[in-house]
Amino acid sequence: MRKLFAGASAAAALFAGSAARAAQPVDWQTSFQPAATDIMRQVTWFEHYTLWFIGPVTLLVLILLGYCIVKFRASANPVPSRTSHNTLIEVIWTVGPVIVLLFLAVPSFQLLTAQYTPTEEAKLTVKATGNQWNWDYEYQVEQPLSFNSAILEDADRADAGKEDRAVYPRLLAVDHELVVPVNTMTRVLVTASDVIHAFAMPSFGIKTDAVPGRINEVWFKAEKEGLYYGQCSELCGKDHAFMPIAIRVVSDKQYETWLAAARTDLGGANKALMAEVDGTNKVAAAGN
C-alpha cells in the first residue's frame, strides 16, 4: 500500500506541477487545490481512492431502493410479506461493509500516521497566534522576528504594491505574508489569544485548531515556490470570513535576504521580495 501511495503521489506531482504556479480558487470548483507538499498529494490520492467505493455503494443503494419501491408497492402486494429475516442477506450486508471499511481503513491509518510523523527534523519553527481577526507570527530563530498579518484592505493595495487581484485576491491577500524557504521542513506552533481559531493551508494539507492556552503543532515541507492562501477555519466571531492566511515560499537565498532585512524594515523587505519574485513570474495563489 505504501508503494501505491508513492506511485500515486508521483503521478499527482507530475499532473499538478505546471498548474500549481497559477492556481487559485475558481467558481464552481469541485476539486482540491494543487498539492504543494507530499502530504497533500497523499490526501488528494486518498480522496480519489475513496470515490471508487463511494460511487458503486451509492449506485447499489439507489438500485436496491428502486427495486424495493417497485416490487413491494402496495398495488403489487396487497398482502404484505411476513418474512422476519433472511440469513444470506444478513451475512452479505454484514460482511460486505466490513470488507469495504477495511479497504478504507488501511490507507486512512497510513495517511493519518504520515500526517503526524515528519520525515525529518524541522529546520524552521514559527509560532502562529490567532487573534480576532488576524495572525501574529513569531520566527523561532537566533534573532527572533515577530509581526502581525491581517487582511489587506482595498485602500491599502496601491501602497503595498498588491493591486494585481489575480495574484493577491480579494479576501485572501494580507498585508504581511509568512515567508518560508522552499524544500525546508517547517514546524508551526499554533495557539490563540482570545477564542478558538483554526490554522488551515489547503495546498499544504494542514489544518489545526488554535486554542487559547494550548499549543498545537503542524508541519509542512513546501516543494514549490509561490504564494499560497488559506483561511481561519473555525467560526471565531463576526469577522471570521476576513481572517486569511498567506504563506510565501521562496528560495533559500531569497528567504535569508528577506529575514535579515525584515528585522529592521518589514515593509521594505516585503516589497523588495515581491519585486524579485513577481518579476520572475513564480507567484502561485492556492487557496481553499
**Residue 186 contacts residue 219 (beta carbons within 8 Å):** yes
What pLDDT band is residue 280 in, cutting at 50, 70 and 90? low
Q: Is the pLDDT of residue 245 over 70?
A: yes
Task: Name the grid cell of 249.
Answer: 515560499
Measured distance CA(251)–CA(211) in Å, rounded:
32
What pLDDT band is residue 83 in, cutting at 50, 70 and 90? confident
Cα 67 versus chain centre, distance: 41
How far the first Cα of the chain sits from its last, in Å, is: 28
> Is the bond preceding 133 in cis, omega lying within 30 degrees of 0?
yes
Among residues 225, 183, 233, the alpha carbon closest in space to that of 206 is found at: 233
Q: Which range is least confidently modeled, 82-96, 143-157, 240-254?
A: 82-96
CA atoms 216, 126, 252, 258: torsion sign? positive
Q: What pLDDT, on the 0 to 100 scale, is given for residue 77?
A: 82
> Which residue bears the cell 485548531?
209
**Residue 126 contacts residue 137 (beta carbons within 8 Å):** yes
Tell me the pLDDT tens digit for each residue of 144-178: 899 999 999 999 999 988 988 888 998 999 999 99
Return phi, psi of residue 123, to 5°.
Answer: -95, -15
Among residues 109, 103, 119, the alpha carbon closest in space to that of 52 is found at: 103
Q: Which residue type is seen at 215?
A: I
Domains of the chain (ranges, CATH numbers): 2-77+84-115 (1.10.287.90), 124-286 (2.60.40.420)
Decide: helix, strand or coil at residue 20: helix
Q: Is the pLDDT of residue 2 over 80?
A: no
Q: What pLDDT, on the 0 to 100 scale, is given for residue 278?
A: 77
Q: Is the pLDDT of residue 12 over 70?
A: no
Among residues 227, 226, 231, 228, the alpha carbon closest in space to that of 245 is found at: 231
**Residue 285 contacts residue 169 (beta carbons within 8 Å):** yes
What pLDDT band is residue 16 in, cutting at 50, 70 and 90? very low
What pLDDT band is residue 24 in, cutting at 50, 70 and 90? low
- Cα 265-271-274 angle, rounded to 5 deg: 140
Measured distance CA(43)–CA(47) in Å, rounded:
6
Q: Rounded to whole angstroms, what are the CA distances from 169 to 25, 26, 118, 162, 222?
A: 9, 11, 31, 9, 21
Between 100 and 11, where is the model more confident? 100
Measured distance CA(30)–CA(27) in Å, rounded:
9
Decide: helix, strand or coil at residue 211: coil
Beta-carbon-side half-sphere exposure of residue 146 (alpha carbons within 13 Å):
6
- Beta strand pairing call for 186-192 and 124-131: parallel
Q: What pLDDT, on the 0 to 100 scale, is given for residue 204?
A: 93
Q: Which residue type is seen at 37?
A: T
**Residue 249 contacts residue 226 (beta carbons within 8 Å):** yes
Measured distance CA(150)–CA(241) in Å, rounded:
12
Taking the model in full, what pTM does it have? 0.80
